[in-house]
Structure 1
Amino acid sequence: MVDISKVRAIDIHTHAEEPCGCHSDDGYDDLQAKMAQYFNAKIVQPTIDQTAAHFREQNVAAVIFPVDAERETGYRRFSNDEVLEQVARNSDILIPFASIDPWKGKMAVREARRLIEEHGIKGFKFHPTMQGFYPNDRMAYPFYELLAEHGCIGLFHTGQTGVGSGMPGGNGMRLKYSHPMYLDDVSVDFPDMKIVMAHPSFPWQEEALAVAQHKPNVYIDLSGWSPKYFPEILVRYCNSILKKKVLFGSDWPMITPERWLSDFEQIAIKDHLREDIIKNNAARLLGLMG
């Protein structure tokens, strides 16, 4: 288990990637190569052990998850059970979330219940653009009911995505599904479900800020962008009314935690809020501190 007193930060948003070559049958490696070009990333598909070693060296704990979008994309998923097995041997630095495509219906709920009750999973990653659904689609509500029942976190991609960027037709991915306002409906219908809107939600940043300010159960993670590119209004809200509801996230492996944290030092965040944003807010959300 992560000892939060010993780490300098908690990264709420990192991706579990299978080793290079595992996806040669479905085009996933090509997708990752194009995304690495978009982010100018040097590390493309690290193993979970390599991820853990990197974060251990940086003294940063990390929430890590796969993304199950095989129905919509054809890319076979990295099994939640495989991820859990590998994370277990790195539990000093990694915190596992899971991912199940909500379109899998009763199968999704059954798998999620097992992961929660048998493995203590605290959160699930949803990617509406990759999974092809509106977050407020009622087909996903039985899944959300389970998360609310167990006090779990739903971490939802919002805004534009680097996934598919520059590929013909955006690789078939539709940005409309990741508008943050759909999560306003979810937050109303499931007030006991903790919701994290991932990323500065370009081009809907103000809508995301409004939802997070209005709904007590909604948070924002700051992953996927270098802080030096944050819009001014996002920085202003981080310094004021959302100071307890914004969370450090890198989007590893496309952005490294050390790059994000270094760039974060250069923006106009009040000094007394920095530790909350990079560590304490996430620790409270994850139930690791009071």
Structure 2
Amino acid sequence: MPDARRVHDCLINVHFGDEQQAEYMHRVKNEYFKRADSIFDPWDMASVLDEMDANGVERAVLTADVRKPGGSPYKFVEARPDRFSLALGGLDLLKPMPTLRTLQSMVADYPVTSANVGPAFWGDGRYNPEDAVYFPLYTKCAELELPLCMNTGLPGPPIPGEAQNPIYLDRVCVRFPELKLCMIHGADPWWDTAIRLLGKYPNLRLMTSAWAPKYLPESLLHFMRTRGKTKVIFASDAPVLSITRTVGEATKLYLPPEVMDNYLYGNAEAFFFQKVGGSA
């Protein structure tokens, strides 16, 4: 396969160096990803842009906490809104009205690509996506035409993960067909369920963030080459997996050129960056 010519990296974490990370994040770095180096140092924007340019990355989506608007992700997008946008997390779904007011305000004030929620990462993992606690967020995202990204698959950190079984999105897609919904961080060990859902619902996508492309299952690659050409979106989850590593591995996958371009660029462009009517 030829090297990538254009890429959107739809999830990186420039906020890691802003403050001390939770103990479980250090455990997942050491025990799950086997990283001996530090991935929690502050990020230099010029260095990030250099790595993006070296790998053909036109735009990177930065995870950001709505409760911490002064952090690195906000500084990056204020400096270079042409290259960076935000994926807004830290949403308190048990206090929906102030949370949704904050979300709507930030969508108005910043370049925002998505809202992000990890069902395993709050409420002790007890609220799966079918729970009514999510319904105000689903409604607001549909109203704003704002894609919603939800973690699927067992998480790396040692926390309860059953709520991230993608089967819980089945009923969500039925109830909210207007909602642009993307599974993120793959779907292990429920890949087949995720693939079946992708084929079933037009509004659903899957992002391979936090997965080294060389380890993606053949069932997913087959889906990408056949019925799922528009369904799967690239992301690195840097610095957990670097932009350079993931783009490099992605370009070596056995994918036809059109499918490769869709995976690295076109699917994200259509799903995240084009509004109704076709304008970006």
- Provide, for residues 218-260 of structure 1, a one-character-per-residue CA deviation record: whole Å limited to 9, x for no partner: 0011121112111111110011111111101111110112211
- SS state at 1:36 partner: helix
> Following TM superposition, by how much is the alpha carbon of 1:177 offset from its aligned partner in structure 2, in angstroms?
0.9
Unaligned runs of at least 5 residues, structure 1: 1-6, 69-76, 165-169
Aligned to 2:175: 189
**1:127 is aligned to 2:128:** no
Give the percent of matched residue pairs that are identical in Structure 1 and Structure 2.
Answer: 23
- Provide, for residues 166-186 of structure 1, a one-character-per-residue CA deviation record: whole Å limited to 9, x for no partner: xxxx2xx21101011111221
1: CA distance, partners of 2:65 / 2:160: 16
**1:32 is aligned to 2:25:** yes
- The TM-score with structure 2 as length reference comes to 0.85
- Provide, for residues 69-99 of structure 1, a one-character-per-residue CA deviation record: whole Å limited to 9, x for no partner: xxxxxxxx6x145332432113232121211
Name the amino acid aligned to 1:139: V
Which of residues 107, 117, 126 in structure 1 aligns to 2:108? Answer: 117
2: CA distance, partners of 1:200 / 1:278: 15
Q: How many residues align?
A: 263
Aligned to 2:63: 65
Name the amino acid aligned to 1:107: P
1: CA distance, partners of 2:246 / 2:186: 14
- The TM-score with structure 1 as length reference comes to 0.82
Which of residues 27, 39, 51 in structure 2 aligns to 1:54? Answer: 51
Answer with 133-142 or 42-51: which moved more.
42-51
Aligned to 2:7: 9
Q: Kindly report the root-mean-square deviation, in angstroms, between the aligned alpha carbons of the 2 structures.
A: 2.3
**1:44 is aligned to 2:39:** yes
Distance 1:189-1:16 versus aligned 2 partners, 3 A rule: farther
Unaligned runs of at least 5 residues, structure 2: none
Aligned to 1:93: 83
Aligned to 2:142: 148
Distance 1:191-1:129 versus aligned 2 partners, 3 A rule: same
2: CA distance, partners of 1:31 / 1:53: 30
CA contact 1:247–1:278 (8 Å) conserved in 2: yes
- SS state at 1:216 partner: coil
Name the amino acid aligned to 1:276: N
